[in-house]
């Protein structure tokens, strides 16, 4: 009976997915704007936060923080997993960045924003890194600003920066996906110059006391989120486990897992809790994380870079 129900569920989802291309791509789903007045038009202290796994979003955050510091602003910059929760966010600007996962902002990032205290009119801005030209990046940015607005932040900007995809299924076949290969040089210096320019744009919006109105569009990728892309990916990826003899217990995978699904004490992965972010396999330097896709072993991001001689570009503001 359970197998039959599962089959029916998959069939319904598959049938529904076939209707997605017929959906319009220009319909506004919702809008978000400031709910309270901007607290100040002056920025003396800024907080830049990001969620990053392979380093694309982190590097953008560090360059943005450096650009703000060059303007004489005192800046704190952290990965959200390293940021100590505070009862009060005492800054004049909050910028939050995230990668795009499954055409949206990761649930881990959304939950972090929901846990923040009342922002009380602080200007807020977002940015995302994304690996494909149709990554629904604008709507992912919108998700961040909407949640920050609900915390009484005043949205002033959003920006998307394309990078080399860190989605292993894009290269774990005989041929690397064309769109992945075409972006192998990203992010590059032009990307990071756009990050620096974005920092200046945000400051200009604040100085002019110019909150923005941001929209969420009904796109093909947005519609696909209704059909559980994470769930479908879980169906494709098999045999996800830790290879005990390869593991050196460095804890890198544990630190990056947003749902605490990895237990190195038992060399166990809770595949039910896993959200298929691929942080574990992308981070492991010892090939101790095993996954299979189409009966072939999945390669992590670092292995992919090594196999193809790809060296990520490091802007001058970033040392590692």
| Structural domain contains residue 140 | yes
What is the C-alpha separation between 112 and 176, in angstroms, rounded?
A: 34
Check the CA dihedral 22-24-25-29 and report its sign.
negative
Structure tokens at 199: 């920092």
Count, residues in the chain: 320
Q: What is the CATH number of the domain that holds 59?
A: 3.40.50.360
| Structural domain contains residue 179 | yes
Degrees (nearest 5) of the Cα angle 191, 195, 197?
110
| Structural domain contains residue 63 | yes
Last residue of a domain, one of 203, 224, 245: 224
264, 124: one domain: no
Structure tokens at 310: 């790809």
What is the C-alpha separation between 160 and 11, in angstroms, rounded?
A: 35
| Structural domain contains residue 117 | yes
Last residue of a domain, one of 157, 190, 224: 224
261, 246: one domain: yes
User: Are the C-beta atoms of residues 197 and 70 closer than 8 Å to each other?
Assistant: no
Structure tokens at 289: 């994380």
Structure tokens at 174: 């005989």
pLDDT on residue 21: 46
- At 93-133, the pLDDT tens digits run 999 999 999 999 999 999 999 999 999 999 999 999 999 88
Last residue of a domain, one of 170, 202, 224: 224
- Domain assignment of residue 278, given as a range: 228-307
94, 147: one domain: yes
Degrees (nearest 5) of the Cα angle 215, 209, 59?
65
Q: What is the CATH number of the domain that holds 288?
A: 3.30.70.20
235, 101: one domain: no
94, 197: one domain: yes
**DSSP, residue by residue, 218-252:** E-HHHHHGGG-HHHHHHHHEEEEEE-TTT-----H
Contact residues for 218 (Cβ-Cβ < 8 A; gap 6+): 23, 24, 25, 26, 27, 28, 29
270, 134: one domain: no
73, 53: one domain: yes
- Looking at the DSSP bridge assignments, the partners of residue 31 are 215
- At 255-306, the pLDDT tens digits run 989 999 999 999 999 999 999 999 999 999 999 999 999 889 999 999 999 9
Any long-range contacts for 68-74 (C-beta under 8 Å, 24+ apart)? 68/43, 68/93, 68/199, 68/203, 71/43, 71/199, 71/200, 71/203, 73/43, 73/44, 73/45, 73/46, 74/44, 74/45, 74/46
139, 166: one domain: yes
Tens-level pLDDT at each residue, the chain (320 residues) = 444 444 434 443 433 443 444 445 568 999 999 999 999 999 999 999 999 999 999 999 999 999 999 999 999 999 999 998 888 899 999 999 999 999 999 999 999 999 999 999 999 999 999 998 888 999 999 999 999 999 999 999 999 999 999 999 998 877 898 999 999 999 999 999 999 999 999 999 999 999 999 999 998 889 889 888 999 999 999 999 999 999 999 999 999 899 999 999 999 999 999 999 999 999 999 999 999 998 899 999 999 999 999 999 999 999 76
245, 169: one domain: no
The pTM of this model reads: 0.90
| Structural domain contains residue 1 | no
Q: How many domains does the chain have?
A: 2
- Ramachandran region, residue 215 (left: φ > 0; alpha: ψ -120 to 50; beta: rest): beta
202, 242: one domain: no
The SS3 call for residue 201 is helix
55, 195: one domain: yes
41, 112: one domain: yes
């Amino acid at each position: 009976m359970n197998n039959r129900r599962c089959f029916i569920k998959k069939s319904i989802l598959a049938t529904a997915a076939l209707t997605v291309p017929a959906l319009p791509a220009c319909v506004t789903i919702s809008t978000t704007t400031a709910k309270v007045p901007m607290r100040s038009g002056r920025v003396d202290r800024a907080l830049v936060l990001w969620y990053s796994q392979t380093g694309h979003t982190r590097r953008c955050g560090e360059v943005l923080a450096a650009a703000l510091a060059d303007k004489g602003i005192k800046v704190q910059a952290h990965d959200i997993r390293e940021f100590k929760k505070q009862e009060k966010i005492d800054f004049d600007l909050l910028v939050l960045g995230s990668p795009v996962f499954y055409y949206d902002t990761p649930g881990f990032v959304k939950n972090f924003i929901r846990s923040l205290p009342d922002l009380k009119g602080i200007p807020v801005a977002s940015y995302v890194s994304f690996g494909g030209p149709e990554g629904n990046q604008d709507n992912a940015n919108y998700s961040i600003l909407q949640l920050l607005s609900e915390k009484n932040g005043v949205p002033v900007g959003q920006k998307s920066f394309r990078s080399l995809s860190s989605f292993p299924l894009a290269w774990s076949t005989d041929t690397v996906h064309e769109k992945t290969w075409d972006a192998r040089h990203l992010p590059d210096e032009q990307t990071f110059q756009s990050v620096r320019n974005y920092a200046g744009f945000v400051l200009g919006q604040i100085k002019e006391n110019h909150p923005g109105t941001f929209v969420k569009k009904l796109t093909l990728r947005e519609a696909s989120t209704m059909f559980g892309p994470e769930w479908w990916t879980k169906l494709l990826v098999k045999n996800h486990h830790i290879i005990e003899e390869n593991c050196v217990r460095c804890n890198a995978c544990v630190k990056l897992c947003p749902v605490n699904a990895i237990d190195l004490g038992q060399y166990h992965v809770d595949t039910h809790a896993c959200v298929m972010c691929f942080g574990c396999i992308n981070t492991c330097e010892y090939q101790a994380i095993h996954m299979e896709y189409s009966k072939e072993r999945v390669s992590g991001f670092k292995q992919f870079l090594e196999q193809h001689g790809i060296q990520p570009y490091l802007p001058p503001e970033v040392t590692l």
